[in-house]
A and B are shown apart, each in its own frame.
Chain A
């Protein structure tokens, strides 16, 4: 079993819908949680960064962390075709130099016009 599990999708939604993504993890030592977006043939780019449990909002994006359930979520409101990409969750134990990120396998999202 992998340390971080993520449904590979694809997740297909109509434009304007809410996209709901999630990851589960097994390592209770994880403290830093991130969501990356990766377009085809590109490198991952950081969307959201949260520390410990709670919610964080940035524009159309909301990240939630529930450490008691070892579950993190990303919500995208008013989805656009340009949101079509693979979304990767990532997490780490500490913030020190050489901080190793453990990634989920990514969920492919398709927003249809």
Chain B
């Protein structure tokens, strides 16, 4: 039973298209995140939601728009995709005050051609 699940796992699309990535967690955590991992393996936070409220919004292009319909779901919509958006996008969740860090999903590998 997957704790943090992302769909799709792979996404190949052309420049200029709009795409969405979905994330769901069944751990009962109250906080969810989107991280981007580039080709050099650096993981950088993009957004964080706590109980559906946006609490972290790092400097990312406004083509990226997160949405959290409830605390178990966090989606990421990307408009006008560019070549530089190619990366692996990870969803993660955590519980406020807990001592065990984040639980990550298995990632969505986005390739823009």
Contacts and interface: CB of A to CB of B under 8 A. Distances in A.
A35 to B, nearest CB: 10
A101 B45 contact: yes
Contacts of B42: 103, 105-106
B97 interface: yes
A36 B90 CA distance: 14
A103 B97 CA distance: 20
Contacts of B100: 46, 49
A34 interface: yes
A43 B104 contact: yes
Interface in A15-62: 34, 36, 38, 41-46, 49, 51
B48 A42 contact: no
Contact of B55 (A8, A88, A95, A97): A97
Interface in B64-113: 90, 92, 94, 96-97, 99-107, 109
A42 B41 contact: no
B107 A8 contact: no
A51 B99 CA distance: 9
Contacts of B102: 44, 46, 101
B56 interface: yes
A8 B99 CA distance: 27
A51 to B, nearest CB: 8
Interface string B21-56: 000000000110000000011111100101000011
Contacts of A41: 106-107, 109
Given A43-B105, A101-B101, A105-B40, 9 more contacts: A41-B106, A49-B99, A86-B41, A95-B96, A95-B97, A97-B96, A98-B50, A103-B44, A105-B41
12 contacts: A41-B107, A42-B106, A43-B105, A43-B106, A44-B43, A44-B102, A95-B96, A97-B31, A98-B31, A99-B31, A100-B56, A103-B42
Interface of B: 4, 30-31, 40-45, 48, 50, 55-56, 90, 92, 94, 96-97, 99-107, 109
